[in-house]
Amino acid sequence: MNNHSLAPWPGELAPREKLLRDGAAALSDVELLAIFLRTGFPGVHVMSRAEQLLRQFGSLHRLVSADYAQLCAQKGVGDATYSQLSATSELAFRCFSSRLTQEDALLNPQVTRNYLQSLLTHREREVFLVLLLDNQHRVLCHQEMFAGSISSVVVHPREIVREALKANAAAIILAHNHPSGRAEPSLADRQITEQIVNACQLLEIRVLDHLVIGRGECVSFAERGWL
């Protein structure tokens, strides 16, 4: 094993051995990325390489979501690494998606949040989407209903009701992102949610939650007692 591979830092357990002993959840983002990268450069340990990439992109999610030009501009990143990272991101997304179509979204709120974060966290403008659910709260599909600027989006409750009726949905979950990174809902967010709830009630469609997605955080209207 060369001196820039997965050999551990002095006094530390190598990421792969730590994973085998404690499970993947025990690893930091740097350690997980180091396992994926496998090697560093001559004179650069793989852990240092992983730290540099995470520092450059700001987070693991931004790294995995980066486009071809951004990733391949980094030293040592080429088609193979880009393809593997893109496939990993898509695999995680499909995993969340398949679970949501088989399970009650209310009984698995973290899966729902992970799914929505994978859809919205990296978006540079506000996007408002709706999860359409059947009468057992399984996801039928998601619809990106409206897109706006970096700080706002115009939402039309009538269009949301129309999509719910087309899908024969019994319930919906609303979600939108805050590109600023702060997930705290605004007064406008609360007002439009109330309008959507009122519109849906007329047709006996339940609004189960409205999730506001920030950078690494998520606020639930249902958990706040606002629905």
Lowest mean pLDDT among 62-71, 93-102, 156-165: 93-102
Tokens standing for 132?
């359409």
pLDDT digits (tens, 9 = 90+) for 65-78: 788 898 888 887 88
pLDDT digits (tens, 9 = 90+) for 192-202: 999 999 999 99
Contact between 1 and 9 under an 8 Å Cβ cutoff? The reply is: no
Average pLDDT on 174-182 reads: 93
Q: What is the mean pLDDT of the chain?
A: 85
pLDDT at 156 over 90: yes
pLDDT digits (tens, 9 = 90+) for 138-150: 888 889 999 988 8
Question: Which H helix or E strand runs over 25?
Answer: none
Closest CA to 155 of 208, 163, 17: 163
**pTM for this one?**
0.66
Question: What are the backbone dihedrals phi and psi of residue 126, each rounded to the nearest 5 degrees, phi first?
Answer: -70, 135
Average pLDDT on 178-185 reads: 92
Q: Which residues pair with 41 in a beta bridge?
A: 44
In terms of residues, how long is the chain? 227
Residue 114 pLDDT level (bands cut at 50, 70, 90): confident
Tokens standing for 14?
């190598």
